[in-house]
Structure 1
Amino acid sequence: MLFLYLVVFILILYFVDYKLNHDGIAKIIKIIPGPKDTFFVGNASAFVDISPVKLFKLGRTWAAQFNGIYRFYAFKFAAVSIYNPDDVEIVTCSMKHHEKSIIYKFLKPWLKDGLLVSKGAKWQERRKILTTAFHFNVLRKYFPILEHNSQKLIATLEKTEGKSIDAVPLISEYTLESICETAMGVQLDKDEPEVGSKYKNAVYDTIKLLIKRFVSLHLYFDFIFNLTPDGFKQMRYISTIHNFTKKVINTRKENKKNKEIEECSDNEDTVDVFAYKKKKKAAMLDLLISAENEGLIDDTGIQEEVDTFMFEGHDTTAAGLTFCLLALAHNPEIQDSVVAELKGIFNDSSRAATPDDMAMMTYLEMCIKEALRLFPPVPFISRKLTETVKLSNYTVPKGTMCHIHIYDLHRHESLYKDALKFDPDRFLHENCVSRHNYAYIPFSAGPRNCIGQKFAMMEMKSALSAILRNFRVEPVTTIEDLEFSADLVLRNSKPVYMRFIKIKS
């Protein structure tokens, strides 16, 4: 009798395995190359008890093993990972597949329906409201604030006296202050410096929980995750984040009470902001407040967008700055070329930089672009395929998650010869013209590309030019030392140490 029960149990297991992993969509997906399947659990076994560092390495192992595309399948969850420009173009070039995949729902308690997560009409309306905040003429208005904060960063670095320091906290403080004072129009409280640190730590801790959910399929269900200890932790972290951003919003509203949106000096500088009205260009938060007065958004909507931009506007730019500095520190001859360009612009003067100076920093911009290629601040994005599509000549069914690995795309030898070498000349005009339009996407691509990419580039130029006019940057952490963790933002698992040697005038 016991033997009979055992046989029945085994038959049931095989039946369930067939229904889970060899039927319907599974048959189509499994034609695509992918990691070895395990009985019953499919590919899920690869994620059992895996650390964020090992998870990041696993992605690189699979990218090297397969050729531009591979699949994942477990318990009816289907995903394809792509890192070749033809497939990336198909998925990102239009609004057809603009909806984010299921993993972005993990951000919902934090960002709710902010621009990063929203879809359809809401996304289009919010994007329309916010686009004008990042117009070139508005960015020029932000520039004095960025330059002021760059000088504050210089003053902080001078206190390090050439010691080995972790650059990440200092740069993150600079980018957080900059996004607050420009897009939000609010200064951080100097009397409570720990508030900004608590916010940043809560962001990091929330993302760690998100990555943990990503590799634990049973935690994809909110009702399960919310009952776990991590679910309760997330509530605490998000409360800290929301309290910070609510304070930013309320401070700006108080400052703007009974006042209209500040006018730009150029009276002709108007654009369509809302559907039927024209408004002067203004800071992002001011536009949201004005949109609230027009009935186009409510308090919840403002909170969603401020949460989104506070995170995306400081964390990604801090990563870009950190790894660009590290790359320049490891390539002193390239650092010398940047310094020579700056000398040609400033002639050893200590005067403040201007937006016109930024336009002349062509080689520095090439260095930034090359750093963003090797170290894309957002290494991974994900979409939901809204219809069946051909990727790399494989049929991928409607509803499949599509992970776009920007990190692997940017390091593909077929696109970039000697891809691991830091070579800014890749971004000379003559070297770009023949490159696939979707071979380089540090700010994503298509209609859902990063709305703040020009702002980020200006901010990075301001900070880097200020640093390199005052310091020689030397590496302590080596490129080989870097050990990335799976994260929404490219993040080293340990501090990134450098030395800033003051240049004698």
Structure 2
Amino acid sequence: MISRVGGTIICALLLITITYYVIRFVKRFVFYLRLPGPPYNWLLRHEVDLTAGDLSEIRDFKRKYNEKYPQICRYFLGPFVFLSISDPETIKYFLGQKPPKPSIYRLMLDRWIGDGLLSSNGRKWQRNRKLLTPAFHYSILSSFLPVYCKATHVMLDLWEELSVNGGEIVVQEFAQYLTLDILMQCIGSLETNCQVKRETIPYVNDVNMLTHISLLRFLHNLYKIDLYFYLTPTGRLYKQASKRSRAFTRNLIAEHVDKLSSNGSSNKQEVDFINILLTTRDQNGNRLTDQEICDEIDTFVFEGHDTTATALTWILCYLTLYPEHQETCRNEIMNYFNEHDLELQDLPKLEFLTMFIKETMRLQSPVYSVIREVDTPVSLGGYLVPRGSLVEIAILTLHTNKNVWPDPCKFDPMRFSKENINKVSPYNYIPFSAGERNCIGQVFAMNELRVVCSLILKKYRLEFQEPFLESELTYERDILNKLKTPLKLRLLPIKENN
């Protein structure tokens, strides 16, 4: 009798729970149906519009409806509903609510980057952000300038050798290894020589594989399900590479700990991110644990090298598309650095180059959108959006919004001149996101891009091997806004053209 009653109670509770979630799901789905957005197919929803066809068509599709409904635009993609916003004031208001990163970030990236700044939330994120901030102080960033220069000269030597021997220079390939080389030296004073050895270095292979597969998981709905993903060959590769990569990072941290212990003073140590994180303390006198440092280092690698490589590729592409701007940048560089080496305090003098980089990143922001999760109901576009909703901040659509930018598709670096920069709201231009969760490494990245471009333009005039128009550019199907068209350059030494 007791077991029968107990079974009845359990069944009743189970039925009540299922009913509750079904009712909540139906209410939420009905709410989403009421929101403005493009027409959809009941079976495929927006799967075809957002995943099939050329990526430029997908971008045009999203731009069309985001411009029509900038305060809130609803998209169905697989089991997910994304509420996209591209109005500056709406973005400012929403980010002011301090929405967290979606839990899906942590679920999909946990094996590789753990619970670093990208995926953590709440008090842990706030504490770790404060502890990481000293690593990006001006005095620290100045010590990285020789690293930028050294790594760029390695790439230029490889370019020169290829150019002399008639080889092809495809920028995407070199940019990826250049930025990884720089990052590994700045993170752990690690000389990988990855620009020369490339695929022969196991850790470099693992990083490239993990980056590629992580992006695939964001693009394919079934890969978002752990149970399915780790049964696939791709999932098993990801699991193995994550294990090797984490072991590599932990060993690197352990080596730094041993050196600190043996020397007894951080002043004798090389300046790199690991040493800084090992010696920085919070208000209670505690540092990040070795596991937390491991999470943050792997997060730096994931976020830092591919995005910067993508930005560099676009910048070199636009420098080649607009030779008159390339010449202006070069003249500016020669005026300041023809007789002496680059120094960090001199980089702000490169005003036009900085304007050029910013305009490139307006039109071709490497990160074309960021996702936040609503943790408390919030009003967007006149609708009370429920907790748990996913909100997309559509960066590329914002950057080409005709209500924000006059003649938005025209490439014009003067938008960021001293005379015009005050007209640009902080929420009109957000290639590094905005609000308290903006990119902590944005100054590091901008310095790197200015140094690399300066050294390239100082040595070479850039031309396409096969001329093409801006309208002919094609895009990779990727979570980052990548150029698919192979960027093949012809290098004309400056000394032969002056």
Q: Does 1:426 align with 2:433?
A: no
In the superposition, relative to structure 1, how do residues 21 and 407 fare at CA in structure 2: closer, same or farther (>3 Å)? Answer: farther
Q: Which amino acid aligns with 2:213?
A: T
Give the whole-Å Cα distance in 1 for the aligned partners of 2:422 and 2:478: 32
In the superposition, relative to structure 1, how do residues 292 and 342 fare at CA in structure 2: closer, same or farther (>3 Å)? Answer: closer
- Shift of residue 42, structure 1, vs aligned partner: 6.5
Question: 1:407-449 CA deviation, whole Å, 9 max, x = no partner?
Answer: 1111112222222222110001221222332010011100001
- Shift of residue 27, structure 1, vs aligned partner: 2.3
Does the 8 Å CA contact 1:92/1:98 hold for their aligned counterparts?
A: no
Give 1:107's aligned residue: 109
Give 1:245's aligned residue: 249
Does the 8 Å CA contact 1:101/1:382 hold for their aligned counterparts?
A: no
Give 2:119's aligned residue: 117
Task: Write the mapping of 1:92-171 to structure 2, written as runs, cut at 5 A.
Answer: 92-95=95-98, 97-100=99-102, 102-103=104-105, 105-161=107-163, 164-171=168-175
Identity %: 28
Q: Which amino acid aligns with 1:105?
A: L
Aligned residues: 464
Give 1:446's aligned residue: 435
SS of the aligned residue for 2:452 comes to helix
Q: Which amino acid aligns with 1:134?
A: F
SS of the aligned residue for 1:71 comes to strand
Give 2:185's aligned residue: 181
The one of 351, 363, 371 equivalent to 2:360 is 371
Q: Does 1:405 align with 2:394?
A: yes
- Shift of residue 256, structure 1, vs aligned partner: 4.0
Q: Which amino acid aligns with 1:233?
A: L
Give the whole-Å Cα distance in 1 for the aligned partners of 2:184 and 2:170: 23
Q: Which deviates the most, 53-62 or 392-401?
A: 53-62
In the superposition, relative to structure 1, how do residues 152 and 430 fare at CA in structure 2: closer, same or farther (>3 Å)? Answer: same
Q: Which deviates the most, 151-160 or 120-129?
A: 151-160
Give the whole-Å Cα distance in 1 for the aligned partners of 2:55 and 2:281: 42
Task: Write the mapping of 1:204-219 to structure 2, written as runs, cut at 5 A.
Answer: 204-213=211-220, 216=221, 218-219=222-223
Q: Which deviates the most, 203-212 or 325-334?
A: 203-212
Give 1:9's aligned residue: none
Give the whole-Å Cα distance in 2 for the aligned partners of 1:172 and 1:73: 33
Give the whole-Å Cα distance in 2 for the aligned partners of 1:210 and 1:352: 43
- Shift of residue 134, structure 1, vs aligned partner: 0.3
Instruction: Show structure 1 runs of 5+ residues with no match.
Output: 1-15, 265-279
Does the 8 Å CA contact 1:182/1:283 hold for their aligned counterparts?
A: yes
The one of 325, 338, 348 equivalent to 1:359 is 348
Q: Which deviates the most, 253-262 or 30-39?
A: 253-262
- Shift of residue 90, structure 1, vs aligned partner: 1.8
In the superposition, relative to structure 1, how do residues 435 and 452 fare at CA in structure 2: closer, same or farther (>3 Å)? Answer: same
Q: Which amino acid aligns with 1:138?
A: I
- Shift of residue 312, structure 1, vs aligned partner: 1.7
SS of the aligned residue for 1:500 comes to strand
Question: 1:380-405 CA deviation, whole Å, 9 max, x = no partner?
Answer: 11000112222233332221100112
Question: 1:81-132 CA deviation, whole Å, 9 max, x = no partner?
Answer: 112212211222352x133353553222221101111011111111111100
Q: Which amino acid aligns with 2:397?
A: D
Give the whole-Å Cα distance in 2 for the aligned partners of 1:82 and 1:459: 30
Give the whole-Å Cα distance in 1 for the aligned partners of 2:97 and 2:319: 36
Q: Which amino acid aligns with 1:210?
A: R
- Shift of residue 285, structure 1, vs aligned partner: 0.9
Q: Which amino acid aligns with 1:378?
A: V
Does the 8 Å CA contact 2:136/2:441 hold for their aligned counterparts?
A: yes
- Shift of residue 240, structure 1, vs aligned partner: 4.7
Task: State the TM-score, normalizing by the size of structure 1.
Answer: 0.83
Give 1:63's aligned residue: 63
In the superposition, relative to structure 1, how do residues 399 and 76 fare at CA in structure 2: closer, same or farther (>3 Å)? Answer: same
Give 1:290's aligned residue: 279
SS of the aligned residue for 1:159 comes to helix
- Shift of residue 308, structure 1, vs aligned partner: 0.4
Task: Write the mapping of 1:253-402 to structure 2, written as runs, cut at 5 A.
Answer: 253-260=257-264, 262-263=266-267, 283-290=272-279, 295-346=286-337, 348-349=338-339, 351-402=340-391
Give 2:14's aligned residue: none
The one of 25, 29, 34 equivalent to 2:32 is 29
Q: Which amino acid aligns with 2:113?
A: L
In the superposition, relative to structure 1, how do residues 192 and 424 fare at CA in structure 2: closer, same or farther (>3 Å)? Answer: closer
In the superposition, relative to structure 1, how do residues 261 and 488 fare at CA in structure 2: closer, same or farther (>3 Å)? Answer: farther
Give the whole-Å Cα distance in 2 for the aligned partners of 1:298 and 1:332: 50
Q: Which amino acid aligns with 1:492?
A: L
Q: CA RMSD in A?
A: 3.0
Does the 8 Å CA contact 1:26/1:73 hold for their aligned counterparts?
A: no
Task: State the TM-score, normalizing by the size of structure 2.
Answer: 0.84
> Post-superposition, which runs of at least 4 consecutive aligned residues in structure 1 deviate over 6 A?
19-22
